[in-house]
Amino acid sequence: MAAYVNRTISLMGGDDPGIRGSSLAVGPMGDGRSVSDSSPLQIFVRAKKKINDIFVEIEDYVRDTVTYMQSVQQDRSIVKGDDAVQVEGYIAKVRAIRDVLTRDHMKVAFFGRTSNGKSSVINAMLREKILPSGIGHTTNCFLQVEGSDSGESYLVTEDSTEKQNVKSVGQLAHALCKEKLGESQLVHIYWPKDKCLLLRDDVVFVDSPGIDVSPNLDEWIDRHCLDADVFVLVANAESTLMLTEKNFFHKVSTRLSKPNIFILNNRWDASASEPEFLDQVRAQHMERAVDFLVKELKVCTQKEANQRIFFVSAKEALHARLQEQKGQPAHTGALAEGFPNRYFEFQDFERKFEECISKSAVRTKFEQHSQRGKLIVSEIRQIMDRTYDQAQQLKTQKAVAKKEIHDKLNFTEQQLLLLTQEMKDKIRQMVEDVEQRVSKALNEEIRRLSVLVDEFNLPFHPEQLVLNVYKKELHLHVENGLGSNLRARLSTALAMNIENNQREMTERMSGLLPAEKKQVSLNILPRREPFEILYRLNCDNLCADFHEDLEFRFSWGLTSIISRFAGKKANSLALTNCSQRIPRDLMSPSENVDVMHIKLPSNNTEDWSSVAARMAMASIGSQGTMGGLLVAGFMLKTVGWRLILVTGAIYACIYLYERLTWTNKAKEREFKRQYVSHATKKLRLIVDLTSANCSHQVQQELSSTFARLCHLVDEATNDMDSEIKTLEKEVKQLEEAANSAKVMRNKANYITKELEMFDDAFLKLRN
């Protein structure tokens, strides 16, 4: 009896820290305490809200990571395909965890033999007679009572979503009802949270049929017990723990590691009829219950077991709370002696139960989620670490490659400027050399033109039609001959010189090209055919104004003699339209002169040989035949008729000889002589033009070769410039990718820190 009194004193404000300072004063909820966040159940509520907030951040973080990896996934060198797939898989995992967290609650499962008062205990805790109760086998199926956010009360069967009136639970779950549910079926009963503080704090109660009415205990455990945070064994204080109850919890302990079990010895109000045996019976029940928890199940220590065994009367507690809700004292009505003690112990059970369920639920439900969150964030952080390191490494490589290409581009441009100036000088020297060579060779060939003309062997005839064909062929012969001679003298040397210069250009320029373009530069040379200069003399047009003179002229005729004496450089004195003509006996028979040019000395000091000759000429020019007679008479008087006769005979013989030798062959020789003289003059006029033309060809050949090489170098520089721009873009992208990866990594650290703070606040301090 003394122990019982001490227990009662402690319950009323003794040394028990769980209830120190408590009283029967009820708050708005009528539960013996005010509605505040000091309830141990609020720890679970706050922990649930905190872990939910953290997983919202984790979900956003995973989505951001997926978006980031999709943005850089095109560059496989930064992000591996496996990493991308792995991160995308975390979206579903985090969503599943969030769904579980939303449904997470503190679940309390009540078990015991039939008619031990399980439903009454739940009704007393809910402060409302919700579940069917009474003598005998009352509850036929599993009933789960949870809070309703909408403020309405209703129930939903396991195989339906239809909302039914709560009052129908008496028919659905009562064992005496004809249309009863199966033993393992579950009925969800939703009760307004504002009517019960426990439901508001996410506590769920599960009422069960008696464990002595069904052999399907394993099925019960699998379906309804594996996620329970606290088990309440409602025993009958009028008897003792039975093997049925022990066997059930032995099965539970094999499925769950150290389940939290409270033992309520219900119907303790029956002890009031035998007060003399109260302490002995209480001690007996206590000893057996402690041995069951500590020695048989091994789920707690001796000290913990003493705090988990209570002696209550659920019927009295429910009656008292219904009275309190009516505004009447709790002890109103026919109550057995010792009711205050039993009522305080029921409240003590609720407080211990709240502490235990809150601690257990936080640990069992949120610790696993916290660890999974850390694991997900840690794995993503490792991926971000690899991504950041890879991006930084690639950025460094790209930056180095960009600098190398930039330096190479600057070097190429500088060398190209130097080579361009050098090649221009070489081309200019080459052009000048070609011009000099061609000019010299063409002058030499012009001096040897007579030999080339003499080599022309086409049959000659003075007939004009034949002569035109002859001239045409001669033009072609001279043109081909001069061209072949010039090619023989110049082409080989010039071609070799040009080829050497082209090869030097190619070798020098190819040094500025990348390896893949060097072969292209080599394809420019050698040419399929060696370069050949085209001299383009075009004698047909050049000598188009050539008019041959094939009339016979006596070499010792008067005109010829005067021409010989006058010289080629004398000025001409034209005696035109003279009415008197020179006597034909003083001229060659073939001469028919209408205009005679007397070559006057270009120098005033030059005199003719004799005054007589001047007078004879003047006489001839002015007096015609009379002058000739005077001259003949003068000569006759001077030298004598015999000398004149002999001279005349010799003169006639010479004339006859020349006239007889004036054949086609002679005409051909004269034609070739005249042609050589005319062509020589014309060719000398185009020596500079031809040499300039040849040098221009050489300049074009070398310049075109150099231009093609420069084009290749320009393409290479353009490629390098494009590559630099591409590398700049890639470096910028890699820098952005690295910065984003760094941000994602830092966010992972932040979330990990949040989870660690959650562990410190809700897990570690309560273990």
Distance in angstroms (rounded) separating the CA atoms of residues 737 and 732: 8
List phi, psi (to 5°) of 134. Answer: 160, -175
Q: Indicate the CATH number of 105-336 among 3.40.50.10440, 3.40.50.300, 3.10.129.10, 3.60.21.70.
A: 3.40.50.300
pLDDT at 27: 40
Q: Is the pLDDT of residue 549 over 70?
A: yes
**Tell me, what DSSP letter sits at residue 763?**
I
Q: Is the pLDDT of residue 174 over 60?
A: no
pLDDT at 752: 93
The H-or-E segment that residue 236 falls in is: strand 230-236
Choose among 158, 283, 140, 121: nearest CA to 209: 140
Please write the tens of the pLDDT for every residue from 550-566. 787 777 776 777 766 66
Mean pLDDT of 24-47: 58
Q: How many Cβ atoms sit within 10 Å of the Cβ of residue 132?
A: 21
512 three-class SS: coil
* Residue matched to tokens 């830092």: 746
Distance in angstroms (rounded) separating the CA atoms of residues 533 and 482: 13
* Residue matched to tokens 């002999």: 646
pLDDT at 527: 54
**Tell me, what DSSP letter sits at residue 182?**
P
Please give the share of the chain, as a percent, with pLDDT higher than 70: 80
Distance in angstroms (rounded) separating the CA atoms of residues 551 and 714: 68
Please write the tens of the pLDDT for every residue from 693-713. 888 988 998 898 889 888 888
Please write the tens of the pLDDT for every residue from 57-111. 999 999 999 998 888 876 667 887 788 888 889 999 999 988 888 878 888 999 8
Q: For all residues of the chain together, what is the average pLDDT?
A: 79
Q: Is the pLDDT of residue 520 over 50?
A: yes
Long-range contacts formed by 293-297: CB under 8 A, 24+ apart: 293/261, 293/263, 296/246, 296/250, 297/249, 297/250, 297/253, 297/261
Spans of all domains in the chain: 105-336
Please write the tens of the pLDDT for every residue from 221-240. 777 788 888 999 999 988 88
Please write the tens of the pLDDT for every residue from 392-432. 999 999 999 999 999 999 999 999 999 999 989 999 999 99
pLDDT at 505: 86
Cis amide bond preceding 459, omega within 30: no
pLDDT band at 598 (very low <50, low <70, confident <90, very high): very low
Distance in angstroms (rounded) separating the CA atoms of residues 559 and 284: 178
List phi, psi (to 5°) of 434. Answer: -65, -40
Please write the tens of the pLDDT for every residue from 271-290. 877 888 888 989 999 999 99
Polymer length in residues for the chain = 767
Pairing of strands 260-266, 230-236: parallel
Choose among 313, 261, 311: nearest CA to 124: 313
Mean pLDDT of 152-170: 78
Please write the tens of the pLDDT for every residue from 616-664. 444 444 445 666 667 667 767 777 777 778 888 887 888 888 778 888 8
pLDDT at 21: 32
Q: Is the pLDDT of residue 613 over 60?
A: no
Q: Is the pLDDT of residue 606 over 60?
A: no
| Burial readout 252-277 (b: 16 or more C-beta within 10 A, e: otherwise) | bbeebeebbbbbbbbbbbebeeeeee
pTM surpassing 0.85? no
Distance in angstroms (rounded) separating the CA atoms of residues 631 and 676: 40
Q: Is the pLDDT of residue 525 over 70?
A: no
pLDDT at 464: 85
pLDDT at 753: 94
Distance in angstroms (rounded) separating the CA atoms of residues 388 and 79: 10
Instruction: Enumerate the H helices of 571-663 as residue ranges.
Output: 611-623, 625-639, 641-660
**Tell me, what DSSP letter sits at residue 189?**
E
